[in-house]
Amino acid sequence: MSIEDLEGRHVLVSMRETIEAPANEIWPFLSAIGAERILIPGCTRSSLLEGFGEGALRRIYFGDTVFDERILELNPKTYKMKYEVCEPNSSPAQGTLAAVQLHPSGPNETTITWVVGAKVVPAEHAESLQAQSAVFEKGQIAALRKLTQITPST
C-alpha cells in the first residue's frame, strides 16, 4: 500500500506505525464496516447503508455532520481496505480517497500504512485538512492498538 493507491490525488496524510499484535487480530476491527465509532475519533454513530464488503456504502456521523463512504477494496488476504468519501459532502476537499493496509512484520507485530488524498484541496484549507486527516488516522491506529492489547489473565 502506497501513495499510488491515491490514484494521483493530493496527499493529505501518509503514515506508518507498528502495533504489537498479529495482523489477523487487528483485521476484524479494521474491517468492521458499520462499527466505525469504535475506531474513528469524534464518530458518534455509523451504519451500513447497502451491501457488505467491497462495494458497501457506509454512513459516518460526527454529531450533525454526515459522510457517506464507499468501500472500494476490502481484502482479508492482503489485509487492505480502500474507501472513498461520496460526493457531495460538507468537506472543502473533493474526491477524497483513503487506503490502509496491515503488513505482518513479526509473529506479534504488524506495521500499518495509511494514506489519504483528495482530488481537490483548496489552498486556504490545505493545512487544516492535513491536520484533521492526521488526527483521524492516528486516532484509528491508537484505537486498533488498544483493541488488540493483550490483557493479562487474572
Task: Write the CATH number for 114.
Answer: 3.30.530.20
Helices and strands (H, E) in the chain, number of each type? 2, 7
Q: Provide the residue-wise pLDDT of the chain in tens; the chain has 154 residues.
A: 567 888 899 999 999 999 999 999 999 999 999 889 999 989 999 999 999 899 999 999 999 999 999 999 999 999 999 999 999 889 999 999 999 999 999 989 999 999 999 999 999 999 999 999 999 999 999 999 999 987 776 6
Structure confidence at residue 154 (pLDDT): 64
Structure confidence at residue 1 (pLDDT): 56
Instruction: Evaluate whether residue 154 is within a structural domain.
Output: no
Q: Domain residues for 11?
A: 3-147
For the packed helices 23-30 and 126-147, what is the interaxial angle rounded to 10 degrees?
120
Q: Is 124 exposed, middle or buried (0-12, 13-18, 19+ CB in 10 A)?
A: exposed
Please work out, in degrees rounded to the nearest 5, the angle formed at the alpha carbon of residue 83 by the alpha carbons of 110 and 130. 80
Return the C-alpha cell found at 65. 455532520
Instruction: Evaluate whether residue 152 is within a structural domain.
Output: no
Tally the domains of the chain.
1
Structure confidence at residue 35 (pLDDT): 86
Distances (CA, A) of 117 to 59, 123, 141, 154: 19, 14, 18, 45
